[in-house]
Structure 1
Amino acid sequence: MKVTPTTIADVLIIEPKVFGDARGFFLESFNQKAFDEAIGEHVEFVQDNHSRSVKGVLRGLHYQIEQPQGKLVRAARGAVFDVAVDLRKSSRTFGQWVGVELSEDNHKQMWVPAGFAHAFLVLSESADFMYKTTDYYAPAHERAIAWNDPELDIRWPDVGGPPKLSAKDSAATAFRMAEVFV
């Protein structure tokens, strides 16, 4: 696998080796040993999630203030613009974001460690988004920051109209009012 650091050192882009021919392709989407070596520590995943969304759906910016989740994310079908925001107050990149297109064609994955808010915007007609998490979903501890917070100034791609949001994401808090990590 190829590992590329982003402008936020702990967030990594991971590209598996893809073996393709006229019949299609094969790739190893996850290998515990290779992943641990790539990020320099052992990470245990406890939950796999799969969501399907239509074009223009924006999910996030989500995080859990307790039971924080590290996430290894990818688009198995379609394409998304994936974003991580550093919520670690002690980090030199606190409040900064990084975004990358993940798609069924580029096979890229993004490692989003615990301590980050995460979101994705569907760019294709629909997308199957898959992610592994390092802790279990804990709805009582889930928080959301507004996708369009002016202080974060995330540059979302144009999908031909406003994003489609859940009620929870429509009511998300401003970044400066959000609970953050130490």
Structure 2
Amino acid sequence: MTYRELDVPGAWEITPRQHGDPRGVFLEFFQGAPFAAAAGYEFTVAQGNLSVSAAGVLRGVHFADVPPGQAKYVTCPRGAVLDVVVDLRVGSPTFGTWDSVLLDDTDRRAIFLSEGLGHAFFSLEDDSTVMYLCSTPYAPGREHGVHPLDPDLGISWPTTDRHGNAVAPQLSAKDQSAPSLQEAISSGLLPRFDDTVALDASRRG
């Protein structure tokens, strides 16, 4: 299993080692000790989520209040999604930047996002299945969003699916009504970089 930190600090692309034979494939999509060695702390799992999306479905950009925040370890066991991480931590040297990882059922990569980072993905195939390991349980009052099509974010979303067919983004009503980046900044909605640094320091001891 290999780890590569993305252009957004606090996010990693994880590529597992796959073991295949005529019966199929086996892999370990999460390993606690290698993760701790790469990130510098243990990832505690409080909840596991699963979503299934049609081609063109766009979910996000979602984030949670810090503290406590919500870190996510995400993989796609079926289909394909373009998974995107956005630095929404006000005061961060890389605030407003984003990076992406293709999660699919071929390379079976995963992505990890630490607390304070925004998360979104675009489904590239019908029935794309995404699994999340989360550090904290779902808490509606602490979870928020930024509109994924906001030009200020400048995310390059796909225009075709995995098979080359044209697709348009499909957003939920909640994501469609999410504030722009500037509106989220003005309202004080976004996490603060200093709070994420303090959280990171506390768990590293």
- Report the TM-score when normalising by structure 1: 0.95
| Letter of the structure 2 residue corresponding to residue 44 of structure 1 | T
Q: Determine what percentage of the aligned residue pairs are the same residue.
A: 38
Report deviation, 1:97.
Answer: 0.6
Secondary structure of 1:110's match?
strand
| Letter of the structure 2 residue corresponding to residue 58 of structure 1 | L
Any gaps of 5 or more consecutive residues in structure 2?
Answer: 161-165, 193-205
Q: Paired residue for 1:166? A: 172
Report deviation, 1:77.
Answer: 0.3
Report deviation, 1:161.
Answer: 3.2
In terms of fraction of residues, the more strand-rich structure is 1
Where do 1:1-12 residues align within 5 Å? 1-12=1-12
Q: Distance in 2 between matches of 1:117 and 1:31?
A: 23
Secondary structure of 2:182's match?
helix
Q: Paired residue for 1:181? A: 191
Q: Distance in 1 between matches of 2:170 and 2:98?
A: 21
Secondary structure of 1:29's match?
coil
Q: Paired residue for 1:62? A: 62
Q: Distance in 2 between matches of 1:16 and 1:77?
A: 15
Larger radius of gyration: 2
* Partner deviation per Cα, 1:131-169 (whole Å, 9 max, x = no partner): 101111111121111111111100011132321111101
Q: Distance in 2 between matches of 1:31 and 1:3?
A: 11
Secondary structure of 2:158's match?
coil
Structure 1 runs, 4 residues or longer, greater than 6 Å off:
none
Q: Distance in 1 between matches of 2:110 and 2:88?
A: 21
- Count how many residue pairs are aligned between Structure 1 and Structure 2: 182
Q: Paired residue for 1:34? A: 34
Higher mean Cα deviation, 16-25 or 104-113?
Answer: 16-25
Q: Distance in 1 between matches of 2:107 and 2:159?
A: 20
CA contact 2:8–2:85 (8 Å) conserved in 1: no
Q: Distance in 2 between matches of 1:161 and 1:103?
A: 18
- Report the TM-score when normalising by structure 2: 0.85
In terms of fraction of residues, the more helix-rich structure is 2
RMSD: 1.2
Q: Distance in 1 between matches of 2:47 and 2:116?
A: 17
Q: Is residue 35 of structure 2 the alignment partner of residue 25 of structure 1?
A: no
Q: Distance in 2 between matches of 1:122 and 1:181?
A: 27
| Letter of the structure 2 residue corresponding to residue 11 of structure 1 | A
Higher mean Cα deviation, 107-116 or 156-165?
Answer: 156-165
Q: Distance in 2 between matches of 1:105 and 1:31?
A: 19
Q: Distance in 1 between matches of 2:64 and 2:13?
A: 22
Any gaps of 5 or more consecutive residues in structure 1?
Answer: none
